[in-house]
């Protein structure tokens, strides 16, 4: 957990007014604790990502919500795939083999 001043100190290129706007626009979420904004490690990473998109890659401010939404969807899909993979691995060999066969058949169909 990092407070607002920590985040600004740890990301030298970050402008306070940008962070305030991103929080206001709900691109980044912070908890309030003792009158100050507190960022989880996930939200701190998100601020770093937004800085990279905005300052290094010159992604327009108006485009940030779309890009972040797409990245959030990708992250969610990857988490779901991981959960599904773990569930399949927990099954007995016969079930795993059946799942792998269905996946192989789907791949062959796509490549036809």
The yes-or-no verdict on residue 112 having pLDDT over 90 is no
Distance CA(28)–CA(47), nearest Å, equals: 7
pLDDT of residue 40: 97
Task: Give the residue among 27, 20, 21, 30 at the shortest CA–CA distance from 72.
Answer: 27
Domain spans in the chain, listed from the N-terminal domain onward: 1-59, 62-112
Average pLDDT over residues 20-41: 95
Cα dihedral 15, 19, 21, 24, rounded to 10, equals: -160
Tokens in use for 43?
């939200």
Average pLDDT of the chain to the nearest whole number = 95
pLDDT band with cut points at 50, 70 and 90 for residue 41: very high
Tokens in use for 6?
């920590």
Share of the chain above pLDDT 70, in %: 100
């Amino acid at each position: 957990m990092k407070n607002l001043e920590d985040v600004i100190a740890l990301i030298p290129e970050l402008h306070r007014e940008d962070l305030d706007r991103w929080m206001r626009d709900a691109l980044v979420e912070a908890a309030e604790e003792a009158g100050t904004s507190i960022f989880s490690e996930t939200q701190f990473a998100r601020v770093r990502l937004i800085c990279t998109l905005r300052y290094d890659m010159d992604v327009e401010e108006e485009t940030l919500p779309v890009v972040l939404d797409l990245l959030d969807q990708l992250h969610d899909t990857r988490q779901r795939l991981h959960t599904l993979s773990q569930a399949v691995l927990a099954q007995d060999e016969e079930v795993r083999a059946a799942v792998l066969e269905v996946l192989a058949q789907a791949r062959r169909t796509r490549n036809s």
